[in-house]
Chains A and B, each alone.
Chain A
Amino acid sequence: MNEHAPIDHAKLAESMPLEDINVSDPKLYQQDVWMHYFDRLRREAPVHYCKDSPIGPFWSISKYKDIVSVEVNHKAFSSSSTFGGITLRDRTGDLELPMFIAMDQPKHDEQRKIVQPIVSPANLAKFEGLIRSRIQNTLDSLPRGEAFDWVDKVSIELTGQMLATLFDFPFEQRRKLTYWSDVATTDLNNPDRLINSEEEREQVFGECLGAFMQLWNQRVNAKELGGDLISMLVSGEATRNMNPREYLGNVILLIVGGNDTTRNSMTGSVWFFNQNPDQYAKLRANPALLESAVPEIIRYQTPLAYMRRTALADTEVGGKMIKKGDKLAMWYISGNRDGDAIENPDQFIIDRERPRQHLSFGFGIHRCVGNRLGELQLKILWEEILKRDMKIEVLAPPKRVYSSFVHGYQEMMVKIAP
């Protein structure tokens, strides 16, 4: 690729042979050009086979309705880590990482139900005051009139604090949680990767497991268990006898699930409002619109671009026969831009009539457990920004993550008016 002559991806996506399109290429997301390829796939090949890619052959499901139909058919389309789990790159054999999102029934439900009470309405009501005071402190400590990175100072900071609370993890060490999460999802071909090999990833996982084993043992030996996630895993019938690898997997799942998604929606929201000043003016005039603005932010961001499934039997989807053993990606990021399901899908519109009809949380038994907590954090963040009438100016387009899975931001420089 010639770095000096930018490629016109809108043109390329239309002109290249359909079969050569590979939407799993992380560069498409880092350069923010993915939409052109999905526009074509939804139109010409809504169930598309990529026969050759660095992560092997795979199917892409790009229409909203097809994605829902694959998602609810969990008997034909497995999430199990035995077959590679929920991401397109296979992690089998020694690298297999069992976690409940990558399990099939009945074990999936049994383990999910253990941790689900952490986000019960009663618990969320308990967290609300804490979340608000932390957001207030964070916003009030931000520099005024000078450039800083919103990702680091706000999005990572707030989600790190939240995670530490959910696990009752040593608060001053919370950046470790962020680091482990980033290592878990980092692409080894990323020029800015945090680690260089799977061996190194396993080494960092070892550190993570060590720290969490210590907390596990503390809980086991405690007289009384708290309401944190580790206490729940320690006492839950379906989780108390997990082997260390499974414990690690579930910890990684809960860290990544609580970290990347909310972090990137927090950053995305600032970017979207900067790009759509009319929508911000609307919100500023009527803060009650946050109720619909929050789900719209989450749709528009789609913080996880896809989830992968593996076919357990030959199954037809959208007129194409998916063969037993084939892997497929349900591209939420594309379904959320499907004009047949969502009106003006490429527009950021904060007062949509049915803003919750989006795919970002997935549907069916693997639907996001923490969705209401993520929404709550975003809602409070914007309530407090609005209360302060902060003018946040984005100084340059954000730097995006090199990943086709985590759809997010590495850095976004902003300046708040003094």
Chain B
Amino acid sequence: MNRKKSPGSGAGGRNVWTIMKKEFARFFGDKKLVFTTLLLPGLLIYAVYSFMGEGITRQFSPDEENPPVIYGENMPASVQTILDQTSLPWQETQDAEAVKEEIREKTADLLLVFPEDFDRQVEAYQTSEEPAPEIQIFFNSSQSSSQSAYTQIRELLDQYETGLANKFDVNRSQETGEPFDLATKEDTTAQVFSMLLPLLLMVFLFSGCMAVVPESIAGEKERGTIATLLVTPVRRWELAVGKILSLSIIALLSGISSFAGTILSLPKLMGAAADSMSASVYGISEYLLLLGLVLSTVLVLTALMAIISSFAKSVKEAGTAVTPLMIVVMFLAITSMMGGGPAQDVLLYMIPLYNTVQSMVSIFSLQYSMVCVGVAIVSNLICSVLLAYVVTRLFSSEKVMFTR
């Protein structure tokens, strides 16, 4: 038997790159796929969050263009003065029942009914032995303008009542601009971002992987195209590594698109509170750490999904089989919202995926330790290598690859 030198020997890196190029060509050559996986998530998140933010802001702020229709019966001079200082227009009425009907029909927003000698009764009111004079406010909670007017009027009247019994003031000089909340922009940003963003980022990364991994592994199995690859000299580990790396990069791009959409829409989502927040409080080192962390996490997620997809006979089956993993990832992600800051024990940063959430919390809250985040990244990378080995074994298994 004659033996020849293997032409493919030493071509490991080249074959991995060849597989990666094919995966990129498959993905980036399909404009629809690029649009739905890379552009659409970011655009949709930006549009939805902006829309939500504007809706919330509108709900709680006065509508300058369409002021509420407010009526008052026996409006006392004291309250008239307060209302005249605001942008809330009002008019006197003598027919409360007719106005109530208008409020029911949503043609008027609010009716204030005062006792005839309200100001005198207030002045005479001394003790709690007799009932205090009552102001009746009629509104329609199903009408947003009416609800908004009610909230504003209620607030004004509460302030007036507090002012009547004024014994002391708290933080009065805040009106002149003296700051009492000593939290810096960094603190506010860190608090909000560390609660919200780890959860959102985990969701985006998982969705990014979900969009490409089952299709590339279970899809190729289902269509019989992976067998065509397995009959070439490409080694199983080259195939596994090529697929995991390329799919991770695509999933990462998808995650970055969603993340960018979130960051850009956050000022609109947070409304007025956004003035005290800025993503610029994070420096290049925080963003680099975050990138390393996200990349190592995507590798773990891609490899996990590759294993699940290898067992599936179709893309549909893979999609269903990935659900338990999704539940685990969501559960881990929610731990970021439980408060209490990031985990302190460095050993906890060795648990894949959980370490990602805790590291993100620590980075966003600017309380990170390089050791903990480093341990998390290294731990994720080691986990990815082990999972890639499992994928390699599965690609070598005829039972897994050829069972239909």
Q: Do A and B bind each other?
A: no
